[in-house]
Amino acid sequence: MNEPALPPVSEPKEFAGRVVLVTAAAGKGIGEATAARFAAGGATVIVTDRNEKRTHAVAAELTDLHRHATVVGIPLDVASRESIDAALEQVLAAHGTVDVLVNNAAFNVVAPIFDYDPAVWDQTVDVNLSGPWYLCRRLMPTMRDHRRGVVVNVSTYAPDVGGGGIEAPYAITKGGLNVLTRAIAHEGGPYGIRAVTVAMGVVRGTRFIDQHPEILEMPDSKGVLPWTPTAGDIAETIAFLAGDRARCITGESINVASGTYMRP
């Protein structure tokens, strides 16, 4: 069966006037695809990544590709509150608010939970949960003042199927991120702030899968559909959920995994 093609972006002004901040957006994966998707929709896109050189290179590349958008690169390490504060100081001084926050950064070291190095555990928590929470804490007041905002937390279905054994610490922190989504939806709802989770399994077009292509052939990685999601599929879902067409969707977790989580 032929894999359906992603639809073209038909409206270059879809996100005109919106400021979108994407974490880990310079790693040739979901974050970069998401930044590109919002730039194609005419947003002001803040590309952030802890790698300063890549951050500026991706911002320059997207600027060349999408002349109707504004793309800015700002180095940001989500595991450091000092780094978050410094980056947001620049963003808020220039734009006043962030309309869409995409918490995409993730960290995972595969190891049995009982053998997990405590320092690695701390880093997993800092990147996958504490950093996204602190970004929300800093940005939600400006969203509240502007009476609009969307938080998209990029996660996994692993917490719903028991953690996945040797990647349990990753699943544990992502489970916390999923709860953060609902907390933001509850508290932000009266101010027009929405929050959603985009959950996934194996995704083509990411650095991890490029380095471990054998994972695509593992039975546990295959869904009920005959194709595996790409980084572009995830970016398209994020863009839909962040847009006005999804204005009544909040507090939800949307699985984009070709039905992998339904496998026995």
Over residues 205-235, the pLDDT tens digits come to 777 777 767 767 777 777 888 888 899 999 9
Give the pLDDT of residue 60.
Answer: 97
- Mean pLDDT for all residues in the chain: 91
Amino acid at 184: I
Predicted local distance difference test score (pLDDT) of residue 70? 97
At 163 the pLDDT is 56
Is residue 259 very low, low, confident or very high in pLDDT (cuts 50, 70, 90)? confident
Average pLDDT over residues 142-162: 91
Relative to beta strand 149-156, strand 193-200 is: parallel
Q: What mean pLDDT comes out for the span 75-83? A: 98
Bridge-partner residues for 252, per DSSP? 196
Task: Write out 99-167 in H/E/C secondary structure.
Answer: CEEEECCCCCCCCCHHHCCHHHHHHHHHHHHHHHHHHHHHHHHHHHHHCCEEEEEEEECHHHHCCCHHH
Which band of pLDDT confidence, cut at 50, 70 and 90, is reported for residue 165?
A: low
Instruction: Report if pTM > 0.85.
Output: yes
Q: Does the structure show a pLDDT above 80 at 37?
A: yes
pLDDT of residue 51: 96
The domains of the chain are located at 19-24+89-262
Cα dihedral 113, 180, 78, 15 sign: positive
- In the chain, the percentage of residues whose pLDDT exceeds 70 is 92
Band the pLDDT of 166: cuts 50, 70, 90. low
Q: Which two tokens stand for residue 158?
A: 């692993």
**Whether residue 191 lies in the annotated active site:** no
What pLDDT sits at residue 257?
87
| pLDDT the model gives residue 202 | 81
Predicted local distance difference test score (pLDDT) of residue 32: 96
Cα-based distances in Å from 218 to 133, 164, 214, 215, 222: 33, 14, 7, 5, 7
Q: How confident is the model at residue 2 (pLDDT cuts 50, 70, 90)?
A: low
Across 98-124, average pLDDT = 92
149: left (phi over 0), alpha (psi -120 to 50) or beta: left
CATH domain 19-24+89-262 topology: Rossmann fold (3.40.50)
**pLDDT for the residue numbered 14:** 92
Catalytic residue among 157, 170, 191, 261: 170
Length of the chain measured in residues:
264
* Under 8 Å between Cβ of 173 and 78: no
Once rounded to an integer, what is the mean pLDDT over residues 11-29? 92
